[in-house]
């Protein structure tokens, strides 16, 4: 993909200067059949494809009710669980822990939270099962239709810190039509380490510019962009609940800027 | 899975002694809801899921015609290409080559065969494209329907020496509904090394007995069985062409013994 294709991408996304628009128009006249802007679309999952917060809270409610637990704010529990994920990954990065699957990090955080939230009397089997709620997250309403359309033209895969079994079982649960699973477990690094973004280029013998990172989080896209990947922002206003609605990213910062996967599919011409 | 489940498997597959049949009948009385015989089904691909011989020969014919190549027996070419695969893997096993993707081994064999078959005048781009025929193999007629049924109850994945991109693109080409891709590239070993069969147990935190290897080749199943995996034989009489029809495996040697993936699905109750 060359500079002109990139310009076409910006054009479609709506964020463009008059000069770039002119360059884009020239490019499309010169080459009627525009090559696709990437070969492989890589999706952040937690928050981008699936709604972790409401999924975890709903399972907590259900299990809590069955166990007679009262007075727990399960949405707050979900937020705290998710918030524990960054610091626990950093323990791996700093070498305090060897390479550790996300499932195991999730369990370490869960064990702390059961104390913090004063929940006791759960059996080991119940803890194991609840920890696997991260394998059973529900998709955003547009995800399956959008991915199915995108799959018709691109290789689609999650690129996530979820371990391979987590992402595989999440895909099965949520009926996500992945072509393959790019868990960062395969390179024993966590995003945003560079090894994670470049893994698909190695596996598929393509350039970083043949990859497009799709995410609801600017940091993820910034890291991908710095390594030469294409980028698509998807706005997920409900990820963190009503009290913490994120801002939309300004147009033009990333190659594509969309409200959901169906809009991304339309912008990518499928 | 215990001895009784194993017996049930044999029972369903049709190869059983009267004593085993009695044990199976007792087991089904004692436990009306039989647990599934495995959680994850792992499929050999070349020859088991896809018909490499006719696919490679057809593409050879097509490209040969376009290039004005005459007098080449493309089925023999396909056989020779496939036959070169074992020796080239052994060069990696003996340490003569570092870890090498199957794509690269295929290309080394192709370059030799173009000389042997006296084919010249192909551009580098044409050789690269023809080498990727292994990413575009066509499925046996029952494969997609059988896998789709099996996917409803089991995690399904190829377990193949094909590299990750080869298996991913083959899945896309042939519409194989894999849940994930277990390329042996992920552990940098080739089948039948033990690391390849045990990889899914590590990724999914399950026992080898929770895995079932599905293959048309006895050696593959023997290696899996020796490590504690369940095994299912699928008879593919046309894999090597009309002059070399393989024998059926005797009933009872493996847990399941089937004629195609639809029969396997039926035997596994889906």
- The band of B34, judged by pLDDT with boundaries at 50, 70 and 90, is confident
Residues of A in contact with B171 (CB under 8 A): 179-180
pLDDT tens readout for residues A103-135: 999 999 999 999 999 999 999 999 999 999 999
A188 and A254 together in one domain? yes
The span from the CA of A98 to the CA of A189, in Å, is: 11
Average pLDDT over residues B83-87: 92
Look at residue B213 in the predicted model and tell me its pLDDT: 98
Q: Does residue A8 carry a pLDDT above 60?
A: no
Average pLDDT over residues B44-64: 97
B157 and B42 together in one domain? yes
Better pLDDT: B118 or B34? B118
Better pLDDT: B5 or B77? B77
- Chain B interface, best mutation among A41, A188, A203, by max B CB count within 10 A: A203
**In Å, how far is A151's CA from the nearest CA of chain B?**
9
Show which of B77, B101, B135 is a domain's final residue.
B135
Q: Does residue A22 carry a pLDDT above 50?
A: no
Picking from A152, A161, A255, A159, the residue whose alpha carbon sits closest to that of residue A203 is A159
- The band of B36, judged by pLDDT with boundaries at 50, 70 and 90, is confident
Q: Does residue A31 carry a pLDDT above 60?
A: no
Look at residue A33 in the predicted model and tell me its pLDDT: 60
B182 and B88 together in one domain? no
How far, in whole angstroms, is CA A134 from its chain's centroid?
13
Look at residue A266 in the predicted model and tell me its pLDDT: 98
Residue of B nearest to A39 (CA): B169
Look at residue A30 in the predicted model and tell me its pLDDT: 45
A128 and A191 together in one domain? no
Say yes or no: A203 contacts chain B, CB-CB below 8 A. yes
Q: Does residue A58 carry a pLDDT above 60?
A: yes
Distance (Å) of CA A191 to CA A9, A198, A199, A262, B27:
25, 11, 11, 25, 49
B7 and B108 together in one domain? no
- Residue-by-residue DSSP string for A168-186: HHHHHHHT---SS-EEGGG
Show which of A110, A135, A160 is a domain's final residue.
A135
pLDDT tens readout for residues B118-147: 999 999 999 999 999 999 999 999 999 999
Average pLDDT over residues A4-11: 37
Look at residue B99 in the predicted model and tell me its pLDDT: 94
Look at residue B7 in the predicted model and tell me its pLDDT: 35
Look at residue B33 in the predicted model and tell me its pLDDT: 59
Look at residue A102 in the predicted model and tell me its pLDDT: 97
The span from the CA of B124 to the CA of A35, in Å, is: 22
Q: Does residue B13 carry a pLDDT above 90?
A: no
pLDDT tens readout for residues B159-175: 999 999 999 999 999 99
CATH number, domain containing residue B65: 1.10.150.240
Q: Select from A103, A168, A203 the Cβ nearest to the Cβ of B180.
A: A168
B102 and B129 together in one domain? yes
Average pLDDT over residues A47-75: 96
Average pLDDT, whole number, for chain B? 89
B153 and B254 together in one domain? yes
Average pLDDT over residues B236-245: 96
Radius of gyration of chain B (CA): 20
Look at residue B145 in the predicted model and tell me its pLDDT: 98
- The band of B1, judged by pLDDT with boundaries at 50, 70 and 90, is very low
- The band of B23, judged by pLDDT with boundaries at 50, 70 and 90, is very low
The span from the CA of B230 to the CA of A214, in Å, is: 39
Q: Does residue A265 carry a pLDDT above 90?
A: yes
Torsions phi, psi for A159 (to 5 deg):
-125, 100
Exposure string of B81-105, with b = 16+ CB inside 10 Å and e = fewer, is bbebbeebbeebeeeeeeebbbbeb
> Is B163–A103 a contact, with Cβ atoms under 8 angstroms apart?
no
Task: Pinpoint the alpha helices (H) of chain A.
Answer: 3-13, 18-30, 52-67, 74-83, 85-93, 102-116, 124-131, 143-151, 164-174, 194-204, 218-226, 261-267
Look at residue A128 in the predicted model and tell me its pLDDT: 97
Q: Does residue A179 carry a pLDDT above 50?
A: yes
The span from the CA of A13 to the CA of A70, in Å, is: 48
The span from the CA of A79 to the CA of A111, in Å, is: 15
**In Å, how far is B164's CA from the nearest CA of chain A?**
6
- Chain B interface, best mutation among A168, A206, A210, A211, by max B CB count within 10 A: A168
Residues of B in contact with A169 (CB under 8 A): 155
- The band of A35, judged by pLDDT with boundaries at 50, 70 and 90, is confident
Average pLDDT over residues B186-190: 96
Better pLDDT: A67 or A35? A67
Distance (Å) of CA B154 to CA A134, B139, B148, B151, B178:
19, 20, 10, 5, 11
Look at residue B52 in the predicted model and tell me its pLDDT: 98
Average pLDDT over residues B190-194: 96
B63 and B177 together in one domain? no
Tell me the ipTM for this assembly. 0.87
- How far the first Cα of chain B sits from its last, in Å, is 19
Weakest-pLDDT range from A16-25, B46-55, B198-207: A16-25
Look at residue A36 in the predicted model and tell me its pLDDT: 83
Look at residue B29 in the predicted model and tell me its pLDDT: 43
The span from the CA of A12 to the CA of B27, in Å, is: 63
Sheet holding B256-258, edge to edge: B182-183, B155-160, B40-43, B211-215, B230-234, B256-258
> Is B168–A186 a contact, with Cβ atoms under 8 angstroms apart?
no
Look at residue B8 in the predicted model and tell me its pLDDT: 38
How far, in whole angstroms, is CA A153 from its chain's centroid?
20
> Is A181–B186 a contact, with Cβ atoms under 8 angstroms apart?
no
Distance (Å) of CA A211 to CA A124, A207, A229, A230, B124:
41, 7, 5, 6, 24
Cβ A57 vs Cβ A75: under 8 Å: yes
Average pLDDT over residues A147-171: 98
B44 and B178 together in one domain? yes
The span from the CA of B47 to the CA of B235, in Å, is: 10
Average pLDDT over residues A56-82: 95
Domains contained in chain B, number: 3
Average pLDDT, whole number, for chain A? 89
A163 and A260 together in one domain? yes
Stated pTM of the model: 0.88
Q: Does residue B38 carry a pLDDT above 80?
A: yes
A186 and A235 together in one domain? yes
Average pLDDT over residues B190-209: 97
Look at residue B261 in the predicted model and tell me its pLDDT: 98
B236 and B150 together in one domain? yes
The span from the CA of A115 to the CA of A127, in Å, is: 13
Q: Which domain holds residue A174?
A: 37-50+138-267
């Amino acid at each position: 993909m060359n500079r002109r294709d990139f310009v076409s991408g910006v054009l479609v996304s709506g964020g463009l200067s008059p000069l770039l628009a002119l360059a884009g128009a020239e490019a499309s006249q010169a080459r009627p059949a525009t090559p696709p802007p990437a070969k492989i679309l890589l999706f952040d999952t937690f928050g981008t494809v699936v709604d972790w917060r409401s999924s975890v809270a709903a399972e907590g409610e259900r299990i809590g009710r069955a166990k007679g637990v009262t007075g727990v704010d399960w949405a707050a529990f979900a937020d705290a669980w998710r918030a524990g994920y960054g610091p626990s990954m950093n323990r791996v990065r700093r070498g305090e822990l060897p390479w550790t699957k996300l499932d195991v990090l999730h369990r370490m955080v869960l064990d702390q939270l059961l104390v913090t939230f004063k929940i006791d009397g759960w059996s080991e089997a119940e803890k194991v099962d609840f920890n696997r709620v991260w394998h059973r997250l529900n998709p955003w309403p547009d995800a399956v239709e959008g991915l199915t359309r995108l799959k018709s033209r691109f290789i689609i895969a999650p690129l996530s810190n979820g371990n391979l079994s987590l992402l595989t079982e999440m895909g099965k649960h949520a009926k996500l039509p992945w072509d393959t699973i790019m868990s960062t477990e395969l390179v024993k690094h966590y995003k945003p380490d560079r090894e994670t973004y470049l893994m698909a280029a190695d596996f598929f013998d393509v350039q970083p510019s043949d990859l497009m990172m799709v995410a609801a989080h600017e940091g993820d896209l910034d890291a991908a962009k710095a390594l030469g990947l294409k980028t698509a922002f998807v706005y997920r206003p409900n990820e963190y609940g009503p009290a913490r609605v994120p801002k939309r990213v300004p147009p033009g910062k990333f190659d594509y800027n969309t409200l959901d996967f169906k809009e991304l599919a339309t912008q990518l011409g499928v």
